[in-house]
Each structure stands twice: as structure tokens, then as C-alpha cells.
Amino acid sequence: MSSNHSASEQQGRRHKVEGPQKHIIAYVFSLVLTLLAFATVIAGEVNTMFTYILLIVMAGIQVYIQMAFWMHMKDRGHMYAIVGILTGVFVVFTMVVMAEYWVWW
């Protein structure tokens, strides 16, 4: 985890405050993904398995946007955050696989 603050920024005392543009882009991108997901299902007539995979991938991208940009996980010093959430995701993945394939064996 290397520091992304350059020496000049440290000396300049005032940190750069990020503008809203980046977040508005992330918002619009999330909206488009949501619309695509709903449109895929409403249009129907697509292979069910393909639809499932497409929906999961689009949800994954949206979650990445939320966590990386809006919850600042991409910023430095979020090692424990990433480890904590990934541990949770690992447990969840195990449980979902169990529920899908083991309960109705």
C-alpha cells in the first residue's frame, strides 16, 4: 500500500478536494447498468442461463463502483476493509453454493 500523496501535495498544506464530476459519472454508469438489467428481463426471449450470468456480472460491476469509489475502498489504508469484506463474501459464497446445490440434493 504505497502512499499516493506526492511530496508537493504534502508541502502545499491544502489537499486537493475532489470534485463531484467523478461521482456523477459513476452514478450515471450505475443507472445505465440498472436500466440494462431491467430491460434484459422485460424484453425476455433470451436464454435463461445467459440472462442469469449477464445480471450477476452487471450487479458485480455496480457493487464494485459503490465500494471502490463511494466507500473509498480503492483509497490507501483500506487493507483491513478489503480483508474483512472478502472474508464475509467467502462465507456467503459457501452458503449460497450449499443452498443451491446441497439442500435439494
Partner 1 sequence: MSAHSHVDGQLPHEPEKATLEGRNKVLGFWLFLGGETVLFGTLFAAYLALRNQVGDGNPTSQELFDLGLVAVATFILLTSSLTSVFAIQAMHKNQVKPMLIWLAVTVLLGLGFLGLEIYEFVHYVHAGHGFTTSAFSSSFYTLVGFHGAHVAFGVVWITILIFQVLRKGLNVVTAPKVYVAGMYWHFIDVVWVFIFTVVYLMGKVG
**Angstrom distance (rounded) from CA 22 to CA 80:** 25
63 or 74, CB closer to partner 1?
A: 63
User: Does 55 contact partner 1 by CB under 8 A?
Assistant: yes
Cβ(71)–Cβ(93) below 8 Å: no
C-alpha cell at 98: 450449499
Phi, psi (5° rounding) for residue 89? Answer: -65, -40
Which residues from 31-50 bind partner 1, rule CB under 8 A? 31, 34, 37-38, 40-42, 44, 48
Cα dihedral sign for 51, 57, 58, 60?
positive
Q: State the residues that interact with partner 1 by CB under 8 A.
A: 14-15, 17-18, 20, 23-24, 27, 30-31, 34, 37-38, 40-42, 44, 48, 51-52, 55-56, 58-59, 62-63, 66-67, 70-71, 78, 80-81, 84-85, 87-89, 91-93, 95-96, 98-100, 103-104
